[in-house]
Amino acid sequence: MQNVELAMYLIAMIATTIVLWSLLSRTGKTPYALLALPIFGIIGAIFWFPPDAELQAIKQELPTIGREGFAGSDACRQCHVGHYESWHQSYHRTMTQVASEKSIQAPFDGRNLESRGSICRVDRKGDLFFVEMNDPDRNADEPVTQASRVSLPVVMTTGSHHLQAYWVPSVHGNKVRLFPWVYHIDSARWIPNGDSFLLPPEISCLPPDSKQFGQVWNNSCITCHSVAGDVGYEPGNWQSSVAELGISCEACHGPGAMHIANQQNPLTRYKQHLLGLPDPSIVNPARLSPHKSAEICGQCHVGLDDQVAIPHNQYRAGGDYQATFKLADSQNREDARFWGDGTMRVGGREFSGMLESECYRKGDITCISCHSMHSSEPDKQMKPEMNGNTGCLQCHKKFETDITQHTHHSAGSTGSLCYNCHMPYTSYALFTAIRSHRIDSPNVSNSQDSGKPVACNQCHVDQSLKWTSQHIENWYGTPQPKLDDEQNEVAASILWLLRGDAVQRTLPAWSLGWKASRDVAGDGWQVAFLAVELDDPYSIARYVAQKALKEFGVSIEGYSSLVSPDERSPVAPGIQETFPPINTLNTEGLRAVIDSNGLNRQSLEMLLKQRDNRPVTIHE
């Protein structure tokens, strides 16, 4: 119920009672005026509060909550208030929530959502949220008619940080299906599911309610977006269960029921407090070995072998990771999730990156070396003291005294931040570039082979690979590889942007708008190249370019990244004319693409013809 409505209703109730009281005072039956109060109360409850039966019916649609051995986060709160509260602020908690006014961020205001011939409607009734759509359980070959329209309650949400997805009940037990539209929180708009992942246009351009997007929560998201999710599938019947929705205490600390039972006796607790003994019935990642500790995060933040059924519900924090998970083969060149050198290029799979790092293989690095679930801001969950170079200097102390000697950049500058060179933005997820968690060093030769952008050229976006390899040779003695003509002459970021695959194009579109790169490579010339990406076949690439253009104050009226180039005329030429590039820096890497007349269209066309059009699918 809205507060204003409630206030007005209460005022009406009191006013009616007063009027009745004064009228009845002449008859001496004033107490009867008080009957107005319960009558108003009953009427209000009927109109404003949905009947319990409806709420109960919605709860029936959810996966069963509660599993043997698990206690739930509320039980943990009784003793660990601080830890509970810090977790409660995190996006891990809100990864999966029961649909409610508190959890839902999108406007359910009766609007129609239309795209590619499909219409959905989102609305609410009191505290209940509904969608109207084509029946997601209809047969695939059944034609869409008025009869196939259904109104379904929203029962669950996924995400609360960048995107929020909504789940509606389906047939066969407690199976829930994805609503065809998601809410993009950053841009405050509804977008079709096909435009929320990096998908080839032949898929992303399908109507949003196509079967390709009818994801079932119970056999996909359940594994990482809940605690100890059990798919519970038998033919024709889903009886999924979870210990708790969202990622809560027991995902990282293991089942807590036994711990709670063990800790009932105060003498047991104080014995452990005073002697500094751990309770063996609960897992504390900080007490585990670095690898064991990292594996806890790695139960979700990892790229798994898609061909193997996911047995997540068998893994418990601190358990046998190797026996439970089969990781994706990072050397499989056909797997679009990896760069050619085996580096994970999908965000949210940081453990895969770390596994390839020397710091992990030979050192003691673990996730909580830099991150914290309980002492951090919710966005990236970095320990406050680990921003800057402190994280790396924990082990690499020799660079503490004279960082410039190593980086050849002035101390305190962007180029002297360890992670800008050793953890560059070479992963993609959720409409943006993400830092790689494979900690390595810039290497041009490797970039040639793998296609992975070189860290140097993410800031020095105006410089060629030749320029980069010369510097790396001069500073660190790495021999220069043999480069082709374009690599010698054209800025590396422009090469990736124009002739790379979908991820290679999206990442430089992001880095061209990155403040650190604009500080180094000047402002303005990038617009003409980012404009090319506005006509990219991948809607994610278009969105990232559009967002980067805003950094230059360029916004195109009427342009939507959700509309594919096939559905409209190209916008790039117009923008390139309005913002002709000028090579004010006169850097070698830009000379080949920007001449005295502005954009060198011949070079541009030639590079575009070399574009890597292999289909790329990144579900993140």
Partner 1 sequence: MVKKPVEIAEDIRIAQRHLLFGWWSLAIFVALGITLETLHAFKIVSYMGVDAETRRLMWTLAHSHGTLLSIIQIVFGLTIPKLSEQTSNLRAWASPCLLGASLLMPLGFFLGGIFYYSGDPGIGIFLVPPGGILLLLGVILVAVNITRDFR
Structure tokens at 100: 């409610």
Structure tokens at 247: 């990622």
261 lines the binding site for partner 1 (CB under 8 A): no
CB 78 to partner 1: min, Å = 7
Query: Facing residues of 169 across strands?
Result: 176
553 lines the binding site for partner 1 (CB under 8 A): no
Residue 554 · residue 514 · CB < 8 Å: no
CB 371 to partner 1: min, Å = 19
CB 375 to partner 1: min, Å = 10
81 lines the binding site for partner 1 (CB under 8 A): yes
Three-class SS state of 44: helix
383 lines the binding site for partner 1 (CB under 8 A): no
> Binder to partner 1 among 78, 289, 331, 617 (CB under 8 A)?
78
CB 98 to partner 1: min, Å = 24
User: Which pairing describes strands 432-434 and 118-125: parallel, antiparallel, or unpaired?
Assistant: unpaired
85 lines the binding site for partner 1 (CB under 8 A): yes
> Binder to partner 1 among 50, 51, 69, 82 (CB under 8 A)?
82
568 lines the binding site for partner 1 (CB under 8 A): no
Helices in 305-409 by DSSP H: which ranges? 321-324, 350-355, 358-361, 390-393, 403-407
CB 370 to partner 1: min, Å = 21
CB neighbour class for 138 (10 Å; exposed up to 12, middle 13-18, buried from 19): middle
CB neighbour class for 213 (10 Å; exposed up to 12, middle 13-18, buried from 19): buried
Q: Considering beta carbons, is residue 263 or 478 the nearer one to partner 1?
A: 263
CB 319 to partner 1: min, Å = 24
CB 30 to partner 1: min, Å = 44
Cα distance between residue 207 and residue 194, in whole Å: 8
79 lines the binding site for partner 1 (CB under 8 A): yes
- Measured from the Cβ of residue 588, the count of other Cβ atoms closer than 10 Å reads 17
Q: How far is CA 449 from CA 418, 453, 454, 554, in A?
A: 24, 11, 12, 35
Distance of CA 530 to the CA centre of its chain: 23
CB 272 to partner 1: min, Å = 9
83 lines the binding site for partner 1 (CB under 8 A): yes
| Window of 269-277, 428-436, 480-488, 523-531 that interacts with partner 1 by CB under 8 A | 269-277
CB 86 to partner 1: min, Å = 7
* Binding track, positions 30-69, relative to partner 1; x by CB under 8 A: ----------------------------------------
Residues in the interface with partner 1 (CB under 8 A) total 13
The three-point CA angle 88-297-429 to 5° equals: 85
Indicate the DSSP class of residue 432: E
Instruction: Map the footprint of partner 1 across residues 496-535, applying CB under 8 A.
Output: none
Name the residue among 529, 545, 538 with its Cα closest to residue 562: 538
* Binding track, positions 274-293, relative to partner 1; x by CB under 8 A: x-------------------
CB 81 to partner 1: min, Å = 5
What lies within 8 Å, CB to CB, of 79 at 6+ separation is 263
Cα distance between residue 202 and residue 189, in whole Å: 23
Name the residue among 439, 408, 486, 483 with its Cα closest to residue 343: 439
Q: Considering beta carbons, is residue 79 or 395 the nearer one to partner 1?
A: 79
Instruction: Map the footprint of partner 1 across residues 110-129, applying CB under 8 A.
Output: none
Measured N-to-C along each axis, helices 539-551 and 526-533 cross at an angle, to the nearest 10 degrees, of 160
> Binder to partner 1 among 9, 80, 326, 595 (CB under 8 A)?
80
Q: Considering beta carbons, is residue 80 or 161 the nearer one to partner 1?
A: 80
273 lines the binding site for partner 1 (CB under 8 A): yes
Helix (H) or strand (E) holding 191: strand 189-192
Three-class SS state of 74: helix
Radius of gyration of the chain (CA): 29
CB 80 to partner 1: min, Å = 6
Structure tokens at 226: 């809940």
| Window of 97-105, 150-158, 173-181, 267-275 that interacts with partner 1 by CB under 8 A | 267-275
Q: Considering beta carbons, is residue 5 or 85 the nearer one to partner 1?
A: 85
Give percent helix, percent strand, percent coil of the chain, each to the nearest 5. 40, 15, 45
> Binder to partner 1 among 266, 477, 479, 558 (CB under 8 A)?
266
Instruction: Map the footprint of partner 1 across residues 580-599, applying CB under 8 A.
Output: none
Binding residues vs partner 1 (CB under 8 A): 78-83, 85-86, 266, 269-270, 273-274
